[in-house]
Chain A
Amino acid sequence: MLRYLARRVALTIPVLLGVATLVFSLIHLIPGDPAQAMLGEAAPQADVEALRQRLGLDRPLIDQYGAFLRGVVRGDLGVSLRTGDPVTGQLLARLPATAELAAAAMLVAIACSLPLGIAAAVWRGTAVDHAAMTLALTGISVPNFWLGPLMAIAFAVELGWLPVSGRGTLAHLVLPAVSLGAGLAAILARMTRATLLEELREPYVTAARARGVSRARAVLRHAFRNSLIPVVTLVGLQFGAVLTGAVITETIFSWPGIGRLLIQSIGFRDYPMVQGCILLIAVTYVAVNLATDLMYGVLDPRIRYE
């Protein structure tokens, strides 16, 4: 197991280096002079020159790259052009809000998708199956930037049950979490159905039924447990979609997380902050994928020996 763990962690290092390199390159993809672009066309030349020096853009590219990587390792991502505060501090201040939203959305998705997927597989080919899968495909197709405002119209504006925006209480979390989790729920429900159907065809399920095990027990205690492995993997892989979705959901519901900070920073051309947000989201995604892979190894012992 330790060898598997070490190998998997080692494989992550070049990916992280590649991610950091891409994030570093972003600032150099800005058409024209990056410092001028950040301050605007009307900015005095002296200010542009000062910013260029402050960001190290006047140094050779390789020096800039080295300084960027050293900063990343030390957790120093520079200073926000808008507020003058360290980027890392602002990211850490916003991280709990995004983590809370992502976790709640995942919970909503898992709680909705598993019963839906199980029902569709157990009653395969019936109206229940068709209804569940049509609902799931609809869930994949409905954009969260539409579902969010629609739910806000219904539950905040018309019924007045929930607050329309902001963060603070559990009630504030409901609409953002449901609108963010709906797409993931749809994908998970389809996966649960597909994998459970495969397991239900396995001889051990027939054997269990022949031994007198009830259908519900055979499905839930035997087949469902084994069908969970690909579902767990998919939850990990879809975490990226949740993080990207959070950028939109946070914007819709004025949720004070990393995603909203990213969009605000793009609007202010605060590129060090944009780089910080992108880097943090990507690194989190890589870490979650790594954790998923490791969990996969724990859940399926065959993986360890490969």
Chain B
Amino acid sequence: MVAACGNGANEPTPGTGGGNNGGSGGMAPISIFQSKVEIAGELEALAKKYTEETGNPLEVWGSAGDAYITQLQARLTANEGPTIFSVQPGEEAERFKSYYHDLSNEAYVADLAEGIGLEIDGKIMGMPLAVEGFGLVYNTDLVDPANVKDLASFTETLKQLKADGVNGLSLSQEAYFLIGHLINTPFSLQEDPQDYLAKLAAGEVKTAETPEFQEFAKFLEVIRAETTNPLEVTYDRQMGDFATGRNAMVHQGNWSYTMLEDFGELNIGMMPFPLMGNDKLAVDIPSAWVINGKASEAEIKAANAFMEWLITSETGKNAIVNEFKFIPAVTSIEATDLDPLSQAVYDATQNGNTMPWALNYFPPGIIINDLSPLAQEFFLSSSMTGEQFLERLDQIWANAG
């Protein structure tokens, strides 16, 4: 176990997936079920290429956005689980841990960047394919980052853009894009986010009394007052309007670049969300791919072969960097020719200018079940103040604990 991870080997170990496997495969058919809708089409194309190159069958199950976990759980409980599936680090990964196959001895986890593999009980159980980051994605023609450094300048910028007929900032109605990512910032700015979360669940601290949250509430009020109602906007519309210049900023991550590709060259960048003068992008691993330990021996072998191929073959590497537009989590894949958003995240990572995703440690399901309805209520009723929002937030956390 110790030998496989962290032994500093930076060369990709030649494996069975490095090239052709004789063409006729002979491995058991396997399936992948993962939660990223942005790469659905590209993943299916990759599956076809894999089968062409190695002869091993690979099936991609359609991913379902907000309902992914429900479907995954139903299938796992019915013993019809996928061979490879994705889980979010933190509570979600803990919940499903009895289904994982130990990856510590696999060749391909050797190249993971320091400390980045999904570890449970000291063993590497999940393989992250990408690091991701989010922040304020902005149109460089419409917004100057120097004008968005704190609450005052942020408000000023929004008002100015509104006067010019442009929507300053667009959120969107999906749970994570409405409030899930936005609320990560105040949590991540705490000294010890996980400790704060534990205290919040126990009722020992209150967001209503924490300065980062108090300012966050003011940000919410400004966003509500100066921008279009996010509940009227879907992800498609949000990015479409951004690409056509109707939205000056969106609170999104580098994954959203795939929604902008069809629009050609755009002048965009990513800047930190200026809460309390924050200058860091939120970067972390969004999910890791795990292999279903309850699958048969043959299927596990086939799954490992696929993962090996994905990390080491030219087609696989090309898919990760150029088609999925991931910033690779393994050091053996070069991150060249990145799109502007991924470049911003990559630079921030290289400079150490990042903060983690506290949202990975939220109580399971809280974003979809509780934070989303609360945010809906906030954006629908202009009478709900920021303070009331924080009070409700405290109640939610106390109940979820």
Q: Do A and B bind each other?
A: no
Chain B residues near A (Cβ < 8 Å): none
